[in-house]
Structure 1
Amino acid sequence: MLAILRNRTYRHLFAAQVIALLGTGLMTVALGLLAYDLAGADAGAVLGTALAIKMVAYVGLAPVAQAFTDRLPRRPLLVGLDLIRGAVALGLPFVSEIWQIYLLIFVLQAASAAFTPTFQATIPDILPDENDYTRALSLSRLAYDLESLVSPMLAAALLSIISFHSLFAGTVVGFLVSAALVLSVRLPGPQVGPQSGPRRGVWDRTTRGMRIYLATPRLRGLLAINLAVAAAGSMVIVNTVVLVKAGFGLAEPQVALALAAFGAGSMIAALALPSVLDRLSDRPVMLAGAAVLVIGTAAGVAAMGSYAALLALWLVLGLGYSTAQTPSGRLLRRSAHAPDRPAVFAAQFALSHACWLICYPLAGYLGATAGMGPAFMAMSLIGAAGLGLAWRLWPQGDPDDIGHDHAGLPAGHPHLVAHGANGRHHHPLVIDDLHRQWPVWRAS
């Protein structure tokens, strides 16, 4: 897996991702503690609302930002967005009112809504080989797990000598170092010229990724899996601080340790996935991960009895979380031509976070009003609905070489000539200007 780090450009980008996420992880711990400091036992509801605002920024702005930035030079764009995020994080230690948390989180995540899809869409251009890209996805998943594992451990150590307000400084440093590392390499530019297709209007560019995504069966299945992931993940992210501090009467370091257990499970799965995906296709692996999340969330009712049981459950949920999510980049890459990849990654970013937008406030509200037991059961049922939809929407075998024809194309059209037929023909298919709908396919 580590062999791909010989690629200097990818190595620097991966380091930038790791360092920025370490800083973001410190912010996640500090934000939870800040919410508890301001709201006490209602911290879950406050944090759930803050994270819902984050999701609103992601869902509403990611496709629009991509439409306006898809032809801008990637390196200055990513550096500028890192600097904006660092500047906003600088203001978080001075928050004294709950509404200030909401405002700063929106501005910070608006910049992330433009940064993350652009960053993700750059990696397949740097690593065009499928095996290299699969390993890059696992390394990327490990980087995200550092936010859940190393950051809480680092936060626990720092909290013994400093106040949690000082943890926000780590977020600022992370964004600044990330910007410096991106600046140190040359990135492939956005697709322009003959290979990029016609120049499109803003509305077309804004909606193109969504249209490709929602017309592709495997990506509709991915959206349903995103719902199962969000249902389980929201219980961990929103309610850990309440379960540990209000439920078990423990201190801040134990909050960090619980989040680290979740990250450890996710990291174990990410390390194992490259070899698993060499032998199995994406569909059964991702469905199995979603099933673990559904069962594990239901088991949360039993885990409320002891802190040790909670740690074990969070570890299992981390395993399912990474297994269900990590291969998603492979699906997105297979499902779009290179010029359309940024739009499709932006659609995944927005639609997956729409699922979190539903689940974050629901997990916080149910935990605060109905209790943690009903919250666990409700989120498990939502996850089960997502798993069932994914099973239904994503065909077994995941075919993309499907017989189809083009009734509106004239005989002799270059596409028909290229595939050796003026009528029905086969080729690996993605949604584009010539294929606006997925052909009907039935297993033989």
Structure 2
Amino acid sequence: MMGFGKKSSGQAKSGLLQNRAYLALLSAQLVSNIGDWLYLLALLTMVGLKWQATPWEITMVSLFMVLPVLLGGPLAGMLADRVERKKLMVISDLVRFVVLIGFVFVTSIWQVYVLLIAKGVMDVVFSPAKNGKIKEIVPHDQLDQAVSYSAIIEQGTKIIGPALGGMLTAAFSVTVCFVVDAGTFLVSAFLLSKVPGKLRDVAERLKTADGGAGDAAAAATRKQGFWTEMAAGAKIIGGIPLLALGTLILCASLLVLQIADSQAVVLFREIPGVSDDLLGWCITFSGIGTLTAAWFTQRIRISPLFKMGIGGTLVGLVFAAAGFIVSHLPLTDGVMALMLTLFAFAGLGAGMTFIPFQVLLQQRTPEAVTGRVFGTVSSLTSTATLIGPLFGGSLVTAFGPEPAFILSGCLMASIGFVLLMFAPAIMKRDRMAAEPAMGA
């Protein structure tokens, strides 16, 4: 393990890229993220375009994808803090391999729902374990870079995955995408086997965890009962004003975005003469935008709330513009190019909204409760992701996808604008709350 002393930016980057445990974790993420985009594109193509699912059936697909996270986030987070995280990740990958093979044999929508729940359960086990492992193997002063590199991998695969999925679907079928994605989980499990196991016990990790008041809360949870441990993540978040407000803003953003985003495939069906691969290309361009955001957010030295406000305003304006274009303009090469550009800006705005929050969460969370904090955040954001599609399905069924996109975009832009207005006051309150802890 590398030391936790202060380093220059160049030294930090160099040291992080020499961290073999982190590189193994990043390599596993690279492989599985490529597979995940193959899977998502194949699922949307199969259900939305080939099976011509109704708006409510597409809404149910979105709901079953997030339902396990909603119900199991805190429990999975507690598990990630009490069981060896590497073991949880490897088991999750192996089970997901079996689940993805199951998609090859589905013939009706209810079978898709069952498999989505099974995959979601393993996703919710994997995520807090991975986030906890990052904090376990990466020094605190390199967490910003570590989270940014992870985001770059995630968004880079968003560019490669849909393009590869489109080629595989065109040359073969969606079945091949599911099989390839299943294989990526096997490769990921092998790479994760190279990550070291628990490096330090909980007591030692508590000594080096940052956050002042958070340390006391983290230490106290060790002596509490099951339900108190389950609530530890919420207590940590509630005790840090910046985290509490950031989580609230993130949940509100996801709720209003999902009103439209969950119905994107329906919006594309409204475009006369649209090709099957336009959705994949739009996803690719949004990945380019978010990849740019991952690079950009490292280089602008403003508060995370300002970044989130700028990103939210941008993605909201783009969503509203997309709904307007589909409802008022005929499909031409120029309009297709404009849609691709809009999705690139949507990705940029989404990245500036979500990546700074992820960095903030890693930096301000005590390591011993990282799993529970991330599990709690996942559960809260999944609640928003669950409610949003319900509104979206109702709006699209009653009025069509274009008004849903315009409404969602206007609400998101409003959230971003309000955040920009109040960010200075929020940051001041957070500094005032942190001063007593630092003095103690």
Q: Which TM bucket (shorter chain)?
A: 0.7 to 0.9
Q: Does 1:182 align with 2:192?
A: yes
Q: Is the 8 A contact 1:142 1:271 kept in 2?
A: yes
> Would the alpha carbon gap of residues 351 and 242 (structure 1) be closer, same or farther in structure 2, given more than 3 Å must change?
same
Q: TM-score, normalization: structure 2?
A: 0.84
- Shifted more, 74-83 versus 337-346: the winner is 337-346
- Residue in 2 aligned with 1:303? 325
- For residues 178 and 296 of structure 1, the distance between their equivalents in structure 2, rounded to whole angstroms, comes to 35
- Residue in 2 aligned with 1:140? 150
> Would the alpha carbon gap of residues 25 and 194 (structure 1) be closer, same or farther in structure 2, given more than 3 Å must change?
closer
Q: Is the 8 A contact 1:248 1:307 kept in 2?
A: no
> Would the alpha carbon gap of residues 171 and 195 (structure 1) be closer, same or farther in structure 2, given more than 3 Å must change?
closer
3-state DSSP of counterpart to 2:315? helix
| Correspondent of 2:311 among 289, 298, 304 | 289
Q: Is the 8 A contact 2:33 2:154 kept in 1?
A: yes
| Correspondent of 2:24 among 3, 12, 26 | 12
| Correspondent of 1:152 among 159, 162, 170 | 162
Question: What pairs up with 1:417-432 in 2 under 5 angstroms?
Answer: 426-428=436-438
- Residue in 1 aligned with 2:286? 262
Amino acid at match of 1:345: F
Amino acid at match of 1:96: T
> Would the alpha carbon gap of residues 125 and 194 (structure 1) be closer, same or farther in structure 2, given more than 3 Å must change?
closer
- Residue in 2 aligned with 1:103? 114
3-state DSSP of counterpart to 1:299? helix
Q: Does 1:319 align with 2:348?
A: yes
- Residue in 2 aligned with 1:119? 130
3-state DSSP of counterpart to 1:118? helix
Q: Does 1:210 align with 2:234?
A: yes
- Residue in 2 aligned with 1:420? none
- For residues 307 and 276 of structure 2, the distance between their equivalents in structure 1, rounded to whole angstroms, comes to 35
- Shifted more, 116-125 versus 32-41: the winner is 32-41
Q: Does 1:29 align with 2:59?
A: no
Amino acid at match of 1:28: L
Listed one character per residue, the Cα deviations across residues 343-366 of structure 1 (whole Å, up to 9, x for unaligned) are 111112211222211223433442
Amino acid at match of 1:124: K
What number of residue pairs does the alignment pair up? 406
Q: Does 1:230 align with 2:254?
A: yes
- For residues 362 and 182 of structure 1, the distance between their equivalents in structure 2, rounded to whole angstroms, comes to 39
3-state DSSP of counterpart to 1:159? helix
- Residue in 1 aligned with 2:244? 220
- For residues 315 and 195 of structure 1, the distance between their equivalents in structure 2, rounded to whole angstroms, comes to 40
Between the two proteins, what is the percent identity of the paired residues? 24
Give the unaligned 5+ runs of structure 1: 405-424, 435-444
- Residue in 2 aligned with 1:93? 104
Q: Is the 8 A contact 1:53 1:106 kept in 2?
A: yes
Q: TM-score, normalization: structure 1?
A: 0.84
Measured on the aligned residues, the alpha-carbon RMSD in Å equals 2.6
- Residue in 2 aligned with 1:169? 179
- Residue in 2 aligned with 1:369? 398
- Residue in 1 aligned with 2:212? none
3-state DSSP of counterpart to 2:202? coil
3-state DSSP of counterpart to 2:437? coil
- For residues 299 and 336 of structure 2, the distance between their equivalents in structure 1, rounded to whole angstroms, comes to 33
Q: Is the 8 A contact 1:191 1:339 kept in 2?
A: no
> Would the alpha carbon gap of residues 119 and 71 (structure 1) be closer, same or farther in structure 2, given more than 3 Å must change?
same
> Would the alpha carbon gap of residues 356 and 393 (structure 1) be closer, same or farther in structure 2, given more than 3 Å must change?
farther
3-state DSSP of counterpart to 1:383? helix
- For residues 340 and 256 of structure 2, the distance between their equivalents in structure 1, rounded to whole angstroms, comes to 15
Q: Is the 8 A contact 2:259 2:390 kept in 1?
A: no
Give the unaligned 5+ runs of structure 2: 1-9, 207-218, 330-334
- Shifted more, 288-297 versus 215-224: the winner is 215-224
> Would the alpha carbon gap of residues 403 and 124 (structure 1) be closer, same or farther in structure 2, given more than 3 Å must change?
closer
Amino acid at match of 1:143: I
Listed one character per residue, the Cα deviations across residues 102-156 of structure 1 (whole Å, up to 9, x for unaligned) are 11101101111111011012212222233x2112211111222134321111011
Question: What pairs up with 1:429-440 in 2 under 5 angstroms?
Answer: none
Larger proportion of helix: 2
Q: Is the 8 A contact 1:89 1:171 kept in 2?
A: yes
